[in-house]
Structure 1
Amino acid sequence: MVTDKDGYMHLVQYLTEHLGLFETPNSEVISDDTVMELFEEQLSAQIIMVCGQNPSLSFTQRNMIIREVDAIVYDLEEILASVANHKATPAQTLFITEFSGLIKNLFDQEIAKQQVSV
């Protein structure tokens, strides 16, 4: 649905270009959540919004979205392996929130395309 699209590849590239943001000293830490916990929380919230905004999605489509999010989380774990368990800084939290919103936008676009073609 989205993980095989150019937009997703661009977002992965965007994340890798900003990995330096995640390699900050622990003295900046404010959040109790780790980097990966924040990604999971934010992505979950965004996907709940996607499904809530699209009540006409079938059970199969919702399952496809969940599988896609699982694949995205797996990719994030691979990319962020060395920092995934570090406590998040405010700058990282902001980046994660924005990145998760961009992921939601990818799903919104794909769902809109599918509904037009039906």
Structure 2
Amino acid sequence: KDKTATSFFWTGVTGSIAMTATGIWFWEPMIATDWLIMGCLCITGVTGHWLLIRCYEVAEASAVQPFAYLQLVFASIIGISVFGEDVRINVAIGAALIVAAGLFTFWRERQKS
């Protein structure tokens, strides 16, 4: 029932406190190019987190969650094409099972309406 800004604020504050308390002991200075990459990471991370919270504010989780399973597909594609990883058969079967369960839930919820 919270607004997007409330959830976004508290997750950000809690995360920054926890990571500062943990990370301060492992801090290393960054070179100039790392600051640019870190800035891009922060902007995309904040935008993605905001949009995810906003999405759950305006839509039912059962309607949105099946699309979140596409992360498995995209992560696999990036892993294979960028990092040259192999997807083992048991991982592919498990991912397909998870995606199928999500799609089944989405279909079942639409049948009830």
Q: Could you say whether these structures have the same fold, taking a TM-score greater than 0.5 normalized by the shorter chain as the test?
A: no
Taking CA–CA contacts closer than 8 Å with sequence separation of 6 or more, which of the two structures ends up with the larger relative contact order?
A: 1
Compare CA radii of gyration and give the structure with the larger one.
2
TM-score after normalising by structure 1: 0.37
